[in-house]
Copies of this chain bind each other. A is one copy, B any other.
Amino acid sequence: MSKNVDVKRAKILDVAKRRFAHFGMAKTTMAEIAKDLSFSKALLYYYFPDKHSLYTAVLEHVVNEMLNRVEVYMRKALGVEDILLYAVESRMTIMRENYNLFEYSSSQFIQNPGEMGKNIGPFFERIRDQYSRILKKGVENKEIEVDDFNETAELLLFSLMGMRVGILSKDLNDCLFPTPDEFDLILTKQQKMVKIFLRGLRSI
In the complex, the answer to whether A113 meets B171 with C-beta atoms within 8 Å is no
Determine how many copies of this chain the complex contains: 2
Judge if A141 is at the interface, Cβ distance under 8 Å: no
Judge if A40 is at the interface, Cβ distance under 8 Å: no
Chain B proximity mask over A171-204: 1 for CB below 8 Å, otherwise 0: 1000000000000000001001101111111000
Enumerate chain B residues within 8 angstroms of A162, measured Cβ to Cβ.
158-163, 165
The DSSP consensus for interface residues of chain A is helix
Judge if A110 is at the interface, Cβ distance under 8 Å: yes
Tell me the nearest residue of chain B to A116, going by C-beta.
Answer: B166
Q: Give CA–CA (A48, B175) in the complex, Å.
A: 38
Judge if A64 is at the interface, Cβ distance under 8 Å: no
Judge if A112 is at the interface, Cβ distance under 8 Å: yes
Contacting residues of chain A (141-171) with chain B, CB-CB under 8 angstroms: 151-152, 155, 158-163, 165-169, 171
